[in-house]
Structure 1
Amino acid sequence: MTAGRVAGKIALVTGAARGQGRSHAVRLAEEGADVVVTDVCHDITDVLPYSLASKEQLEETVALVRATGRRCVAVQADVRSITDVRAAVDAATAEFGRLDVVVANAGVMSSGRAWELSEEEWDVVMDVNLKGVWNTARAALPGMIEAGAGGSIVMISSAAGIRGHVPYAHYVASKHGVVGLMKALSNELARYEIRVNTVHPTGVSDTGITVGVPIEELSAREPLFGLGAMNPLAPFVEPRDVSNAVLFLASDEARYVTGLQFTVDAGGTNKP
């Protein structure tokens, strides 16, 4: 059997109970990685227009990863808490000895005109989407640096991290912030051969927000799903399309790729 593209690597994926995070974890496992998966596994606010993933869904992700023949450990963690994320990193180290790949995927989304957003709506999106990515990086990096073996950090941003989509000012600000964090870290960490990149999906079907909803209905929704009409190739992409970009950036094929904004957006950010 041919070795996988990330064979022997150890990966941490946040927000992995369903949707993109689950897809990233499974795709990395298919190509040879052992995986630690995390999710908050309960609702954290009543201002989001959907429920967050459950502990049972996280356990389903573990089963799917293990079905590939790879090892998997699950840790319930809120990325807003550095204590929680450090516990996940500690679990990875205890089980596997190190971390090679970090996929900072956990994120939330809501909509509303900027001047009408409540402080709670702003804070929860910024805290999960930006502070959560920072927490994930700062929890993982000391051990990665000490190991001296390099590595890859993949931060999931969005097409909204490149363009000024409306009405999602808080979401746009958080995803632009992820890009700034990535750019700074890619320079800080180059000396340690730790690469840092962002992935920018457009709307993704079969995530926690969209699961079980027909593409036609998603495309017709406003304002939350109006982004689909902006993409020249397709209204939405599939989670696996995004995971293939994550896999490339995690692999040694991308050994000289850092500081990159990698779009998986069906042409949306290039559209006039």
Structure 2
Amino acid sequence: MGRLDGKVALITGAARGQGRSHAITLAREGAEIIAVDLAGQVESVPYEMATPADLAQTVKLVEAEDRRIVSLEADVRDPEAMQAATERGLAEFGHIDIICANAGISSWDPAPDMSPQRWRDMIDINLSGVWYSVQPALTSMIERGAGGSIILTSSVYGLEGGVGRVHHYVAAKHGVVGLAKSLANELAPHRIRVNTVNPTFVATGMIQNDAIYKLFVPDLPNPTQEDFKEVLLGMNKLPIPWVEPQDISNAVLFLASDDARYITGTTLVVDAGHLA
């Protein structure tokens, strides 16, 4: 028996990276999966984002765990699209027990140079998109009366000021923490728990790309992953540059399961000592 047998999990940003890892991990523990992803590019994002082929691969990997999955291309910035995605999942599985609002982007600019569009995309995806991912399922979760677990992806930068040039990212991730605490208060009488996971750097396409290498190693004309690694080693207390997606999925699984049945309104930090 898996820890999530009979459960249904809606996961955003599921095409690759942390979202794909969450989908596979929860499926391995018995959950059916509703996988949502834009599967497209946002103009203000300076690295390649997930594709429809990535989302299709997530489907194959979940099915390899002998679990059912519904995949949908939807933009978390669009409340109507997220409502439709939720309704499709409910029509397929009958209920939603777990929501992993994981979809997010990264970008950066000095404060004087931050364009309105870059700011808007960040807040719309990393904060408003979290809300639009959660709200459509709340009525069904409350009416079903079986409780549930909502896990919002924040960051260590949801708990500190962060490095320079990510003001919009820091603002959004702090907002996610506040949203989780507020929802935890409101939904507790319905036995619906709400928590955040707050990772340090995670080895996904969001940080493993040339654009972010240049941001963190500006003195070199063509910095490599090894150059980037050396910088990050100085940012965590444990002697590692980044954690793996599975490390975050393990935390998500814990929060989704009955092992965390009395944990709500918290920030679960997986940061290799970054905040210590």
TM-score normalised according to structure 1 size:
0.93
How much does 1:115 deviate? 2.6
Q: Which residue does the alignment assign to 1:35?
A: 33
Listed one character per residue, the Cα deviations across residues 169-189 of structure 1 (whole Å, up to 9, x for unaligned) are 100000000000001000000
Q: Which residue does the alignment assign to 1:223?
A: none
How much does 1:166 deviate? 2.0
Alignment of 1:69-218 (within 5 A): 69-167=66-164, 168-210=166-208, 216-218=226-228
Listed one character per residue, the Cα deviations across residues 32-59 of structure 1 (whole Å, up to 9, x for unaligned) are 10101010011122x2111221111001
Match of 2:267 among 245, 253, 261: 261
In 1, Cα distance between the equivalents of 2:233 and 2:263?
29
Listed one character per residue, the Cα deviations across residues 239-258 of structure 1 (whole Å, up to 9, x for unaligned) are 00000000000001111000
Aligned length: 262
In 2, Cα distance between the equivalents of 1:248 and 1:207?
24
Listed one character per residue, the Cα deviations across residues 87-121 of structure 1 (whole Å, up to 9, x for unaligned) are 11111111110000000000001112223211111
Listed one character per residue, the Cα deviations across residues 64-83 of structure 1 (whole Å, up to 9, x for unaligned) are 00001111110111000111
Gaps of 5+ in 1: 221-225
The answer to whether the aligner puts 1:239 opposite 2:267 as a matched pair is no
Amino acid in structure 2 at the alignment position of 1:230: M
How much does 1:215 deviate? 5.2
How much does 1:142 deviate? 1.2
Match of 1:252 among 254, 258, 263: 258
Gaps of 5+ in 2: 214-223
Listed one character per residue, the Cα deviations across residues 214-237 of structure 1 (whole Å, up to 9, x for unaligned) are 7524325xxxxx555310112100
In 2, Cα distance between the equivalents of 1:124 and 1:10?
29
In 2, Cα distance between the equivalents of 1:118 and 1:259?
33
Name the SS for the 1:98 alignment partner. Answer: coil
Listed one character per residue, the Cα deviations across residues 99-154 of structure 1 (whole Å, up to 9, x for unaligned) are 00000000001112223211111110110000000111111111111111110000
Name the SS for the 1:268 alignment partner. Answer: coil
Amino acid in structure 1 at the alignment position of 2:244: E
CA-atom RMSD, angstroms? Answer: 1.6
How much does 1:208 deviate? 4.1
In 1, Cα distance between the equivalents of 2:228 and 2:93?
40
The answer to whether the 8 Å contact 1:20/1:207 transfers is no
Q: Which residue does the alignment assign to 2:6?
A: 8
In 2, Cα distance between the equivalents of 1:215 and 1:240?
20
In 2, Cα distance between the equivalents of 1:28 and 1:215?
30
In 2, Cα distance between the equivalents of 1:200 and 1:71?
28
Q: Which moved more, 1:202-211 or 1:36-45?
A: 202-211
